[in-house]
Amino acid sequence: MLASVWTYRGFVVESIRRDLRTRYAGSVLGAAWQLLSPLALIAIYTMVFSQVMRARLPGLDDQYAYAIFVCAGLLPWNMFAEILTRSQGMFVEHANLLKKASFPRICLPAIVVGGAVANFLIVYGVFLALLMLAGRSAGFATLYAIVPIFLLVLIAAGIGVLLGLAHVFFRDVGQAIGIVLQLVFWLTPIVYPITVLPAAFGTWIAHNPLTPIFRSLQEIFLGGALPSTPTLAPALAAGLAACAVAWWAFRAQAPLVVDEL
C-alpha cells in the first residue's frame, strides 16, 4: 500500500495543496489566515491562562509556563482530532470520485493525514517562532519533538482508517466521533498536569497510550527534557497495533467500500 501511495504521490501532493487552498477560498486575506489563525489562538491561550486566570504549574513560578504547557499539548491534539474527524468521512464524502476514477483507495487516508500534518506544521512553526522571540525556546531539544509527534500521527492514521471503513457500513460513527474525542481529550493530560490528579485516577490516566506523547511534548518545551524510549514505548506499541489492524481491515474491506457507497 505504501508503494501505491508513492506511485500516486503527485495525486496525493496536489490534493493536499488543493485542500489547503480551498480552506480559505473566497476570503480577502486568503492564505494569510494560515498564519493569523494560530497567532490568534496562541495569543488567546497566553492572555487567558497567563494574565486573566494567572494559572501556574506545580513547582513553577513562571507566569507563562502554563500557557506554554497548554500550547505544547493542545496544538498537536488539534492535529490528532482533525485526522480522526476528517478520516471518518473520507470514503463517504469521496463516493463519486471512488466510483468514477481508478486510483488506490489508500491515497485518501494519505491525503487526510498529509493535509492535517501540513496545517499543523504551519501552526507549530508559528508557536516555535514565538517561543524564540520570547526567549523561551527549548533549543536543541525542540528537534526531538518530532518523535512524539510522529507517534501521535501513527496512532491517528491507524484509527482514522478504521473509522473511515466503519463509517461506510455504520453511519452512526460520524455522530459518535465528536463525543468520543471529547472523552479522550479529558482523559489525556493536555490542559492539566497528571501530578494534580488523585493517585488512583492518575494511575488510570497514565495507562492512556496518548499520555506519554503529550507529557513528552510538554516536558520538551518547558524544560528541554529529551523523550525517553521506555516512556514512549506504550505509544509506539499502540501506533503499530492500530496500523496493523487498519492494514488488515483495509485489505479485507476495501473491495466492498464502493458497493456500499
Could you tell me which residues come within 8 angstroms of residue 111 by beta carbon, excluding any fewer than 6 positions away? 12, 15, 16, 19, 90
Cβ–Cβ < 8 Å for 114, 92: no
Give yes or no for a contact between 190 and 46, defined as CB atoms under 8 angstroms apart.
no
**Distance between CA 235 and CA 233 in Å, rounded?**
5
Mean pLDDT to the nearest integer, 199-221 = 90
Cell (9 digits) for 95:
463516493
pLDDT tens digits, residue range 76-118?
Answer: 999 999 999 999 988 888 877 777 777 778 889 999 999 999 9
**Alpha helix segments (H runs only) across the chain:** 2-7, 9-22, 33-46, 65-87, 90-93, 95-100, 107-133, 146-169, 173-186, 199-206, 211-223, 229-260
Task: From 181, 203, 190, 249, select the one nearest 70 (Cα to Cα).
Answer: 190
Q: Which residue has the cell 501532493?
A: 13
Identify the CA nearest to 56 among candidates 67, 40, 48. Answer: 67
pLDDT at 129: 87
Q: What is the pLDDT of residues 35-83, one digit of tens each?
A: 677 677 777 776 766 666 555 666 666 777 888 888 889 899 999 999 9
* CB contact at 8 A, 83 and 160: yes
Nearby residues of 258 by Cβ (< 8 Å), 6 or more positions away = 98, 99
pLDDT number for residue 28 = 58
Contact 114, 16 (CB under 8 A): yes
Cα distance between residue 7 and residue 102, in whole Å: 13
- All three cell numbers of 7: 506511485
Q: Which sign does the torsion angle of CA 206, 208, 209, 210 carry?
A: negative
Calpha distance 113→107 (Å, rounded):
10
pTM of the complete model: 0.89
